[in-house]
Amino acid sequence: MDTPDSRTALEAIGRRRLLRSAWPWRSLAYLVTALPPVFTAVVLMAVLGLPWAVLLRWLGTRADQPLGELLFLALLGTGLIVTVGPLGAMPLAALERSRLRLIDHRPVTAGHRPPPEATPWAWLRTRYTEAATWRELGYLCLMATVVPALYGVVGLVVLLLGVYVVSPFLVHDGEPVALGFGEITTIGGTLPYAIISLLLLPTLVPYLLTGLAGVHGALARTLLHGGSDEGLRAELVEVSRSRARLVAAFEAERRRIERDLHDGAQQRLVSLTLQLGLARLDLPPGSASAQAVATAHEQAKQLMAELRELIHGIHPQVLTDRGLTAAVQELATQAAIEVVVHGELPGRLPDHIEATAYFVVAEALTNVAKHSAATRATVTVHRHGDQLVLEVDDNGRGGADPAQGTGLTGLADRIAVVDGRMLLSSPVGGPTRLRVELPCG
């Protein structure tokens, strides 16, 4: 049974039950199956790096070699590795990702993007312009250089322990046997080496194999797993798109509610108000029934005014009909202080951007009227490239702080939903400037 809570071979090394788990055997299988890919990587890099081998040989034997020939070999070797290397690295990386399951239970993905067009040139252009391909080429280089060296060191240790175990059978006729630390001529002299090695083989070797496989697997996962870069970027893009879809759906639902209230409940309430007014005319003045109908008539008119304000707060009709500039100008006329609007937008913006900008200005003017003691405010609306810029200035006392509950935190949250940003300058004593930038490309 595998060691509990161990997802990788490196994690398993720190567990006490490693020797009784399947991790040493899984690691051995990983190392054995790595030999063909390592051999392939060595041969491929030897062929691609042949110009560099010739260059290094010339530098070691002929100091008077022309600089042009040396430069040509260097460029040729580098060009072969850069252009042809990825074509060999990608299938090798796919094989390595499948082998990684032996010593790493975590999922691993390639991280390659699908080409925009189903053509060979589009595939090549996509592959040669993404980071995953060049990480796979780096892994190919390490498979041809560092990995064989690591395997060689561990293999040498295991081989040395095996030689120590059989060393008593190697001594005969007094001929000396070299055991690394000296020469032994008698069987008795080899027994300590054989006994210690016999004890180390079932204890040390599993740790060596598991450690080597774990290091190789960690290297492969670092370079070949796309979840840390391209995968995360794709997830962030999808989150941004889903958030934009939610904002658009919310805005559409809000407009539907506004339309239903305006065309349904408000119209029925208007009809009820008219009927109560007519009934009031038909009743004797001063009678109890006339007074009751008059009271109901006034309540209906008050309710209609409140409903009209509610509908306007959900989604103002002027914003739908005439756009953001006209809606902001209407806000200015309804404000409790003097508000001047500057700027004119050349055209309409996306619905959710216009709605966000409108409510940002409305909330900002409400904050100015409630908290700043200002007597005058200025709203500037303009488009700068792919951004809608809103600026709200007032001549109040300043000192606006989101931590004081002035609505700035909610304002910032509303802006962040559409990937905008808010800048605030409000020194004590004023003036205060709020700048909001919303993407509208």
Amino acid present at 216: H
Q: Mean pLDDT, to the nearest integer, of 10-15?
A: 84
**Higher model confidence: residue 275 or residue 30?**
30
- Confidence band for 243, pLDDT divided at 50, 70 and 90: low
pLDDT attached to residue 64: 62
Q: Which residues are CB-neighbours of 48 under 8 A, at least 6 positions away?
A: 77, 80, 81, 84, 85
Q: Mean pLDDT, to the nearest integer, of 380-386?
A: 85
Q: Are 392 and 433 in contact (CB under 8 A)?
A: yes
Alpha-carbon span 96 to 101, nearest angstrom: 9
Half-sphere exposure of 373 (CA within 13 A, CB side): 6
Q: Quote the mean pLDDT of the chain.
A: 79
Q: Are 258 and 311 in contact (CB under 8 A)?
A: yes
Q: Which residues are CB-neighbours of 272 under 8 A, at least 6 positions away?
A: 300
pLDDT attached to residue 1: 41
Within 291-365, strands assigned E span 338-342
The helix or strand, by DSSP H or E, that contains position 152, with its residue range, turns out to be helix 146-165
Q: What superfamily in CATH does domain 318-439 come from? A: Histidine kinase-like ATPase, C-terminal domain (3.30.565.10)
Roughly how many angstroms between the first and final C-alpha of the chain, as a whole number? 57
Per mean pLDDT, which of 38-42, 283-287, 293-297 is the most reliable? 38-42
Q: Is 88's pLDDT higher than 60?
A: yes
**183 φ, ψ to 5°?**
-110, 135
Q: Are 6 and 12 in contact (CB under 8 A)?
A: yes
Q: Which residues are CB-neighbours of 356 under 8 A, at least 6 positions away?
A: 414, 415, 417, 418, 420, 438
Q: Is 351's pLDDT higher than 80?
A: no
Q: Is 392's pLDDT higher than 80?
A: yes
Residue with tokens 């491929």: 44
pLDDT attached to residue 245: 63
pLDDT attached to residue 173: 59
Lowest mean pLDDT among 49-53, 293-297, 311-315, 419-423: 311-315
pTM of this prediction?
0.52
Of the chain, the percentage scoring pLDDT greater than 90 comes to 17
Q: Is 67's pLDDT higher than 80?
A: no
CB atoms within 10 A of CB 362: 17
Domain-wise residue ranges, the chain = 9-228, 234-314, 318-439
> Which of 250, 359, 263 lies closest to 313, judged by CA?
359
